[in-house]
Each structure stands twice: as C-alpha cells, then as structure tokens.
Structure 1
Amino acid sequence: MALKDTINGWARKLPTWPVYALGALPPFWYLYLGFTGGLGVEPISELEHRLGLLGLQFLIAGLTITPLRNWTGVNLIRFRRAIGLLAFYYISMHLLAWLVLDIRDPARIWADILKRPYITIGMLGFLTLVPLAATSNKASIRKLGARWRQVHWLVYAAVPLGAVHFVMLRKGWQFEPLIYLGIVLGLLAVRLLRKATRMRPHRA
C-alpha cells in the first residue's frame, strides 16, 4: 500500500474534534508562560507575536491542503474547516491581546489603525476573515449555495494581507517574515497557474 493511501486511510478514520480540542490550548499555554516569566522581558509583545504567527501558519496550512491533494494524492480536505477556524481563533486572540493587554485605551485604537500601516493591513486581513469564519458551517453552505464558494475566495486576500502585516511589523526586511510571504505568494501562484491551465482551450 502506498504511503498516501495509508495517510488517507487514517485521515478518514480520525474525527475532527481532537483538532479543535488540541488547537484551543496554545493561547492558554502562552498566557501561563506570560504569567510565569516564560515569555521573556516583553511578555505582551511576545504573546502577540506567537498568537499572530500561529494564526498565519494555520492560514498557510489551509492553503496547502488542495495543492497537497493535487500533487501527492494525500487528501486532508475534511480537516480544512477546522484548520481555518483555528487560524481565525488564533488571530482573534492576537487582536484581543493587542487591544486588552497592549493598547488598553479605547481612544487609541482607531488612531493607531489609521496611523500605523502595518496595523491597518492587519485589521483588513482580520475583517476579511470574519465572513469566512461566520459562514464555515453546514447551514451557511446550504443557504448560500454557489455563492458560498465565492465568499470563501476571500481567503486569497486574507492570507497575503496577514503575511504583509508580518513583514511590515518586523521592520528592516527580516528574513523570517519574508519566507512566510514567499510561501504565501508561491501557493497563490500555483493556484492561479492551475486555474489558468484548466481554463486554457485544448487544441485538436
């Protein structure tokens, strides 16, 4: 039996609820580290960074599921909703940490969003994810019909916005965020190339 068949067999048997259960734990672990000195000399900044990076990593993981199936035959589609919702969860926690622990002054929030471009980009990315999270359920799929897929094309805007936010946040063109941006752009390029190939008329 091929490796992909073994993986697909396990993927069909595994329920999705452990993904949600285990995925909900990291923010609480990071909070514990923050209270016990495990996040260094700037625990709030480190907490924001870890939550935001985890959200971006899960967004990228969601983007890789279709190419992984196309290239290798490994089918993890049934876990894509869980991965996407966990990404939204981590990014929401990232935003909440910024609002509650960092800013703490409601009067500063709007000013910072307008004044700091990396925050503007980050908020746009978050707002783009909101309709995706809100419609990631079977009732919305039935209600929206064909429009559901069109709504979820927003992910192709949300993920690069998140990657650009990371690049702008780490001033000076640091290597790590550029790697993430390169991966995102590569995945989007593969998606566009595959779509263009499928739309190209076949010659007789």
Structure 2
Amino acid sequence: MIDQLNQVLRRCPVWVLYLVGAVYPAWLLYLGLTGGLGVDPVKALEHEMGERALQLLVLGLAVTPLRQRVGVNLMKFRRAIGVITFFYVVLHLLVWLVLDVQILGQIWADILKRPYITIGMAGFLVLLPLAITSNNWSVRKLGRRWRILHKAVYGAALLGGVHFVMLVKGFQIEPLIYLGVIVLLLILRLPVRRSSPQRA
C-alpha cells in the first residue's frame, strides 16, 4: 500500500501542488464576493487563510517523520509546501491589514497591544527569510547554513500554533489539537539517544 502511494506521488508533478495552492484562495475570494462566506466574509477569509497556512506548516513538519516512520515519501513536495505556506500567511496578513483593520495607526496599536497579533507577526518575520531563500541559488550560496536557517520553521510553527490558541475566544479544542500535533512532530524530530551496550 505504501509503495503504491509512493509510486503515485513520484508520478505527480510538483506544479500541480502550486496550481491547487493558487486556485484555492481565488475560489475563496469568489465565494466572498458572491456571499458564500457568510455574513462576515472578511473574517471568514482571514480565518480560512490562517488555518490553511497552519495546516500546511503542520504538513511540512510531518514530511520527515512520515518518511522515516511510515515510509510515505513527500520530500519532492517539501519546498512547494513551504512556499505555499508562506503565500497563505501573506494572504492572511493582507486580509487583516487591507480589508479588516485598514487604519495604519490601529495596525501598529494592535501589534503592540494584542499578544496574539504580536506572536502572529513574529511568526511571519521568522518565515520571511525562509521564503526568500527557498530557491536553488540560496541553497548553493548558503551551503550548510541553509539547513540551519530553515530549522527556524520549527519556531514559526510553534508561534503559529500559539497564535491560534490565543486568537480564539474561550476554551476551544481545535486550536489545542493543532498545537499538540506541532509539539508532537517537533518531539519526533529530537535525536534518539542509543544506549551503549553494557560491558560484562
């Protein structure tokens, strides 16, 4: 079963993922313009982009554990997942900036006074250099430093999870599940210490 799935994944071109990633926000925008996102389409669009970005962050973190522990190989899609994740984060931010708040002074006030927005902006800033260096030229130029830099995605994922938990009002289980999955995936990446055999 796993081998058959990997064969299908190997045949699937990466551009399909980029295409789906581009079509989905356009579809949401269409729904918003035609009344398909409810009475508050701006908030709905903002939420959808943010949650999809968080889901893609989780998927990106899961690529290595899935290959190592389950045998499902998504490595060829990892860069595309990262690029689309940042694209969705930018859209989430733009909806909030342009369609929701709109007033520049209020934007800075919200960033400084509302902790969940502060944390969300911190996550965006962590992802920014990763998005800029998500190209072959940067991989060659940075060498081993590229891998070190891109480990910052772990921090960005944690910030995204905490942002979602703090964003919702009251106790809700869904954001806690996201945060728990992120923490679990990070734990799975910790190096396993192998105990040396005891001498007789």
Same fold (TM over 0.5): yes
The 5-angstrom pairing of residues 1-204 of structure 1 reads 3-192=1-190, 195-197=191-193, 200=194, 202-203=196-197
Q: Deviations over 1:64-87 (max 9, x none)?
A: 111010111111100011111111
TM-score norm. by structure 1 comes to 0.93
Give the TM-score normalised by structure 2. Answer: 0.95
- The secondary structure found in structure 2 opposite 1:41 is coil
Which whole-Å deviations, capped at 9, do the CAs of 1:157-200 have from their partners, x for residues lacking one? Answer: 000100110010002121111111111111111112xx143xx4
Identical-pair percentage: 58
Unaligned runs of 5+ in 2: none
Distance in 2 separating the partners of 1:111 and 1:135? 31
User: How many residues are treated as equivalent by the alignment?
Assistant: 198
SS at match of 1:25: helix
AA aligned opposite 1:10: V
Q: 2: distance between equivalents of 1:137 and 1:203?
A: 44
* Cα distance between partner residues in 1 of 2:196 and 2:3: 32
Alpha-carbon distance in structure 2 between the residues aligned to 1:202 and 1:84? 38
1:94 is paired with a residue of what secondary structure?
helix
Cα distance in 2 between the residues matched to 1:201 and 1:34: 57
Residue 202 of structure 1: how far off its partner (Å): 3.0
